[in-house]
Amino acid sequence: MNSEDNTNQSRKPDLTRLPMQALYQVANVIQHGDEKYTRSDWRSTYKRTPERINDHLRAAIGHIAEFLDGEEIDESGHHKLAHAAARLLILLDLKSMGDDICLDLLTYEKEKEKA
């Protein structure tokens, strides 16, 4: 990060710096999900449970593992890394709405009971 980035945090980010071809692939995965379920369904209250939220993380890791094992395209015809990126972006979206992300759900439930 350069000094300009550090001193002017309030300015809007330059989205032209993002890799557009990769973003198109991720957008196609999100659109496929919207068509299969409903638009932005991960934001639905009933889907914002710790288990459902962590499913996104597990799925992202799974897509990355499958890619590392040599599988590039999934049954929907989209790249495994585009699926992983879509799941990670969904997690960022949920996190920005204040949702918790915890891999150890048993510990999460115990902590929740203490609070």
Per-residue pLDDT of the chain (115 residues; tens, 9 = 90+): 454 445 556 789 999 999 999 999 999 999 999 999 999 988 988 888 888 888 899 999 999 999 999 999 999 999 999 999 999 999 999 988 888 776 665 555 566 666 6
Which residues constitute the domain of residue 63?
Answer: 22-114
In a domain, residue 1? The reply is: no
Q: In which residue are the tokens 């990769």 written?
A: 22
Measured distance CA(20)–CA(95) in Å, rounded: 24
The amino acid sitting at 89 is L
Residues 6+ apart with CB under 8 A from 22: 82, 85
Supply the pTM of this predicted model.
0.78
In a domain, residue 40? The reply is: yes
Split into its structural domains, the chain has a count of 1
Q: What per-residue confidence (pLDDT) applies to 106?
A: 57
Q: Are 85 and 26 in contact (CB under 8 A)?
A: yes
In a domain, residue 8? The reply is: no
Measured distance CA(46)–CA(54) in Å, rounded: 14
Q: What per-residue confidence (pLDDT) applies to 114?
A: 67
